[in-house]
Amino acid sequence: MAKEKKGVRLEHISKIYQDPKTGKDFYAVHDTTLDITPGSFVTLLGPSGCGKTTTLRMIAGFESPDEGEIYLGGEAINALTPNKRDTAMVFQSYALLPHYNIFDNVAYGLKLRKMDKATIQEKVTNILKLVGLEGMESRMTNQLSGGQQQRVALARALVLEPGVLLFDEPLSNLDAKLRVSMRTEIRRIQQEAGITAIYVTHDQSEAMALSDQIIIMNKGVVAQIGSPQEIYYHPNSEFVADFIGEANFLKGELLDADTADIGGHKVAVNAQGLAPGQSCTLVLRPEAAVLADAGQLPCQVILSCFMGSYQNYHVMVGDTLVKITDFNPKNKKIYNVGDTAFVDFQKDNVHVL
């Protein structure tokens, strides 16, 4: 599909805006350097106002960086207008032409490039097959479901055979079930096309399902870059741990490379490379812990709720609330509210910050 797989490099990119209330300048994106591998699917993830959409718009050319340089496949592109960049954008709003049918919507960009009719016919037919809309060429866009409209928007971007495909929260207007099926489709199409994709979302499960790499942003800077597994199991801060999935945070002191003191109780950890005697935070995912009659940390059960595939517990360890997700509870002991028990976990399932 893509003529050439192109990577994207951002070198010390910053974007400064003026706060309309205070009149003061602030960094929407600050000194960001990224290297996106050709053919990979990378997601910019973070809360509202973290700078992810601004970063995407600078790559697309809709915003200009105030500092730094953007490279696409080795070419500096800061000075290029959006239509001169080898990118295509899939928008949150789809931005379809309502008075055109599916075929003409997808063919629009090719006609602007003055391609001949036979070539346009072949390219549009092939791309509609890829997105699962073959045979619907003559249907008007206002007769389509949200998912079908999203496929048209995707086909229109892909048919231009861009070096890089950009997505600005493309599934946020769809209902939850359709979002799940569409993200599977987007990943399949991206892999079949072999195209570099940069995707903006605030939905962590979407980022986990789609990405080769996740770039977590916070307040205009990159908080962490890694594979979904790296970010989930080895977050580098409480912010990242809390933003991806659910996490319990247990404060204590590191006694040595294998032991931490949590509220006067010794627990086994894997803290290679960290200095004994320093304060630490243990990141314990709800599914990484179990309730037991004996274990590492004594607790009291304050919530016990059967959820079908798992038993949901809230327990108090001293003054700290700990959430536990115990999967497949059918033949396990169920603890009730008011019971005393122990939170138990394996040391390799807890991450030390």
Beta-carbon contacts of residue 74 (< 8 Å; ≥ 6 apart): none
- Evaluated on CA atoms 107, 141, 57, 224, the torsion sign reads negative
pLDDT at 3: 60
Kindly state the greatest CA–CA separation across the chain.
77
The CA distance from 87 to 84, in Å, is 8
Beta-carbon contacts of residue 20 (< 8 Å; ≥ 6 apart): none
pLDDT at 2: 42
The CA distance from 87 to 6, in Å, is 10
Provide the 3-class DSSP secondary structure of residue 65.
Answer: coil
Residue type present at position 294: A
Tell me which residues of the chain have a pLDDT lower than 70: 1-4
* Residue whose pair of structure tokens reads 């949590």 in the numeric block: 262
Provide the 3-class DSSP secondary structure of residue 192.
Answer: helix
Provide the 3-class DSSP secondary structure of residue 191.
Answer: helix
Q: How many CB atoms lie within 10 A of CB 331?
A: 5
Strand intervals (E) in 232-309: 248-256, 259-262, 265-268, 279-284, 290-292, 297-306
Question: Domain segments of the chain: what residues?
Answer: 8-238, 246-352
pLDDT at 93: 77
Provide the 3-class DSSP secondary structure of residue 282.
Answer: strand
Which CATH number does the domain 8-238 belong to among 3.30.70.330, 3.40.50.300, 3.20.20.70, 2.30.31.70? 3.40.50.300
246-352 has which CATH code? 2.40.50.140
C-alpha distances out from residue 67 to 14, 50, 64, 122, 134, Å = 5, 18, 9, 42, 45
The pair phi, psi for residue 103, each rounded to 5°, is: -60, -50
